[in-house]
Structures are given as structure tokens and as C-alpha cells.
Structure 1
Amino acid sequence: MALHTAYIGAGSNIGDRMDHLAKAYHRLLHTPGIENAAASSAYISEPLGITDQEMFTNMVFMLRTTLSPEQLLRICQDTETALGRPRQHERWSPRVIDLDILFFDTLQLTTPELVIPHPELHKRKFVLLPLLDIADPYHPALAKNARKLLEECPDTSKVMQQKGAPEAPF
């Protein structure tokens, strides 16, 4: 089986955010078909959309996996549910955990359930900064690496590395 590299954006703004991120990371790491993982530093960011809510803690996880993108999406959704996120929720609302597939190798995929690369990642410093902690992947649709995307990112929100957060693997 082919071994793929996938990047997962992870965020939380309810309760013990670092605990939720750690549980999501460990759940993914111990999933059959995921052979290795790494995690970025934690970053604090302002909420988007609905701004009257707690700040987010964001990370990016890099996974080496034999799973397909669709299988990985189901694992991410199952992890969100297991950690207390309802399947139906208002967009931009507070959440215990949010897991988004950012990249899957250099695959470009658009289905009703999944778009890879994530269609908004190049507009979000809270994704690009932690991503660059662990890699500088190539965005096949925009023909640029993540570092160049960050240089051109229109996001003016405050994003700062969380000091004193435990380093992965937590």
C-alpha cells in the first residue's frame, strides 16, 4: 500500500483546548492505517465569522497514512464526534474540536464531501503558521509553497504562538 502524507488543521475554543487537541492527536496517531505523526506548536487566534466567542487554539498535524482521503475524512469526523462535537453545528460557532484535511500529498480533489487542498487554507494565518512549523508543502492548485502563501496571506487577524503549551506528542 502507498504511504501518503496528509496535513490536518486542528482547532478548539471550548473548555481545555490543549486537552482536546492532544486527545484528537492521540486518537489519530493510534488509528490503524496511520503509521506516523507529528504536530506543530500551538497558536492562539481570533475567531472568524462569529467573533463573540473565545479565542481558538490551533495546531497542524502531519500524518503518514495508507488511508484514502475519504477514509481519513471519516476518521476525522469520528474523532470530532468522540470528543463531543455535534455533527450538525452552526458554521463559525464555538467547537470542542475541528479537524480539517488541508493537504493529502499533492492531490487535488473536489467532491460534495471533501475539497483538497482545503479551499480556505491560503487565507488563514492560523493554519499557515503552524503548518510551517513542521513542513512547507506545495499547494498544487495555487502552484506555491506554504511559505509563499503566508507571505501573500490577506489575513490581518492576530495569531500568536502559545507560550508554555506542551510540545507534541503532549
Structure 2
Amino acid sequence: MKNSPVTPVIAYIGLGSNLAEPVAQITSARTAIAAIAGLQELAFSSLYHSLPMGPQDQPDYVNAVMGVATELLPMDFLRCLQSIENDQGRVRIGERWGARTLDLDVLIYGDQIIDLPDLVVPHRGVDERSFVLYPLFEIAPQLVVPGKGAIADLIAKCPLSGLRRMN
């Protein structure tokens, strides 16, 4: 049984951190992702400063989006990203949208729509979160988000909500 698609799939990863030197966390995660066998980095957005979702008694976030070509199947791809999160000190304590050293989300995986208990693609809220849409638009302005529409149309309806580019 083959463990990878026949041809590479273009996927997009959302990166976020608001603990333990967030810029360093994002930089380290980028390096770790690029080192995954069967994956090639295609693009990396600027870093963005964003206000936290959910509880406001936490530090602001640093966010970015990375475009990759991958031969990994969706669940294998997710497991690799979760391993990187764990290696960088991610602790899952059950609080939704709480502070974290690193959050890696599979935003888009080719043109697939996936609805599994552990993986939903496109990622929930991808079409309404400025910290996802603006960096994604920066690296893939012609992208069509499966089941959601053209990113240019989505971004036109999405206010910045405190988002600002850092670099």
C-alpha cells in the first residue's frame, strides 16, 4: 500500500505563537516543516502581529502562512505538524484559543474538502480570520479556497481586526 499521493499536493499551513519568543518559534517551525521528507517549501508570508482570539488575558500572536508541495497524505501531514508542535513545547490543556508556544494548522490541502474528527480542511474559520487570510493572500493571491471561493473575494469581506504586518 502506498503512503503518499501520486503527485505532490499544494497545501497551506497556518503558523501561530504567542509564548516563548513567538518569532523564534515561527522561525524554528518553518525550518522543521521544510525538513519533513516528502515536502518542499514553496512560499512563506511575512510575519503578522494579531490580537488573540478567545481569552484576551494572553499575549498577542505572531502569525504566518507557509505554502508547501507535499507527497504526504492529509493525516500523515497533520501528524508531522503535531510532532513539531510537541517538539516546540506545545501543551494541549483543553482551553480553546488559549496561549501556546506553537500552533500549526493545515489550512488547505489541494482542492480537497476533508471532514474527519481530527482534521477539517479547509480549516474552520479560514474564510473569516484576518490572521489567516491576509498572509495567505500575500503568498497565493489567485487561490480559490475549496468550498469557500476566491481568496480575493474573501479578503474583501474581512476587516484587519488589529492585524499588522511585522516585516
| TM-score, scaled relative to structure 2 | 0.92
Write the letter of the residue equivalent to 1:119: R
Contact 2:47 2:64 in 1 (8 A): yes
Offset at residue 123 of structure 1 (A): 1.1
Structure 2, unpaired ranges of 5+? 1-5
Moved more, 132-141 or 109-118: 132-141
> Does 2:161 match 1:157?
yes
Q: Which amino acid aligns with 1:159?
A: L
Q: Separation in 2 of the partners of 1:58 and 1:38?
A: 14
Q: Is the 8 A contact 1:46 1:55 kept in 2?
A: yes
1:107 is aligned to: 112
Q: Which amino acid aligns with 1:138?
A: V
**Any conservation in 2 of the 1:5–1:64 contact (CA below 8 Å)?**
yes
Cα shift readout 1:26-54 (whole Å, capped 9, x = no counterpart): 11100111023321000000001001111
Paired position in structure 2 for 1:139: 145
Aligned length: 161
Tell whether the 8 Å contact from 2:41 to 2:66 is kept in structure 1 after alignment: no
CA distance in 1, matches of 2:93, 2:69: 29
How large is the RMSD of aligned CA atoms in angstroms?
Answer: 1.2
- Is residue 39 of structure 2 the alignment partner of residue 34 of structure 1? yes
Q: Name the SS of the counterpart of 1:122 in structure 2.
A: coil
Deviation (angstroms), 1:140: 1.9
Q: TM-score, normalised by structure 1?
A: 0.90
Q: Which runs of 4+ in 1 moved over 3 A?
A: none
- Segments of structure 1 that go 5 or more residues without pairing to the other structure are 164-170
Q: Which residue of 1 is the match for residue 3 of structure 2? A: none
Q: 1:66-102 CA deviation, whole Å, 9 max, x = no partner?
A: 0011111001100100000014441111100000011
Letter paired with 2:146: P
Percent sequence identity over aligned pairs: 34
